[in-house]
Amino acid sequence: MKRSFLNRFAESGRPAESYDFDDDLPPATLAKGGAAPAPRAIPNDDFAGAPEGELPVDLYQTPNEIVVRAFIAGVGTDELDVSIRRDMVEIEGARAEREQIAGPDYFIRELFWGSFSRAISLPQEVDVEASSAVAKNGVLTIIMPKLDKARQTKLKVKAG
């Protein structure tokens, strides 16, 4: 099972119960006389070698629609691919780092860069042809009208 970005992030930031952050600093870098220690670079090893991140989403319904929302800040619409089937939505894309900064120059590195995807099983069948997707202010919103299985139509039989 693929873990989401947020799960990996939350797990990577948990220190062991008896861990003292100063234990891994050489004695010369410890604060003396109340001075703050020098900032330390924090490596971003969580995503090294990971081929894809999983896109976190909100999925909810209104009386007539099923709606998916996802944060896509930093991703252009030309870098997104949204596929809809009657029972599933797939979102794929990539967030490219605009400038390259050397690893030792980072103090904190938490943003996710690279490709991501998410396949979502829908709780009800939707009308694929009438669905729409809009990206605004870094949020992707996909609106899919529900199919009404109980709806009936009377057909007039023609003599032929």
Least confident of 10-14, 121-125, 146-150: 10-14
DSSP-derived secondary structure letter, 89: E
List pLDDT tens digits, range 29-68: 334 444 444 443 333 344 445 457 888 999 999 999 999 9
Proportion of the chain above pLDDT 70, given as a percent: 66
Question: pTM surpassing 0.75?
Answer: no
Helix H or strand E segment including 92? strand 88-95
pLDDT, residue 152, reads 67
**Do 97 and 114 meet the contact criterion of CB atoms below 8 Å apart?**
no
User: Distance between alpha carbon 142 and the CA centroid of its chain, in Å?
Assistant: 15
For strand 80-85 and strand 53-54, is the pairing parallel, antiparallel, or unpaired?
Answer: unpaired
Instruction: Match 């980072």 to its residue by tokens.
Output: 106
Confidence of residue 20 (pLDDT cuts 50, 70, 90): very low
pLDDT, residue 61, reads 96
For strand 88-95 and strand 114-121, is the pairing parallel, antiparallel, or unpaired?
Answer: antiparallel
- 26 has pLDDT over 70: no
CATH 2.60.40.790 fits 52-148, yes or no: yes
Tokens representing 1?
């099972």
User: Distance between alpha carbon 27 and the CA centroid of its chain, in Å?
Assistant: 40
DSSP-derived secondary structure letter, 64: S
How large is the C-alpha radius of gyration of the chain? 24
d(CA 16, CA 120): 34
pLDDT, residue 3, reads 56
Q: Find, among 69, 57, 81, 67, the residue nearest to 123 by Cα.
A: 67
The mean pLDDT value for 63-84 works out to 93
Confidence of residue 96 (pLDDT cuts 50, 70, 90): confident
List pLDDT tens digits, range 129-145: 999 999 999 999 999 99
Proportion of the chain above pLDDT 90, given as a percent: 38
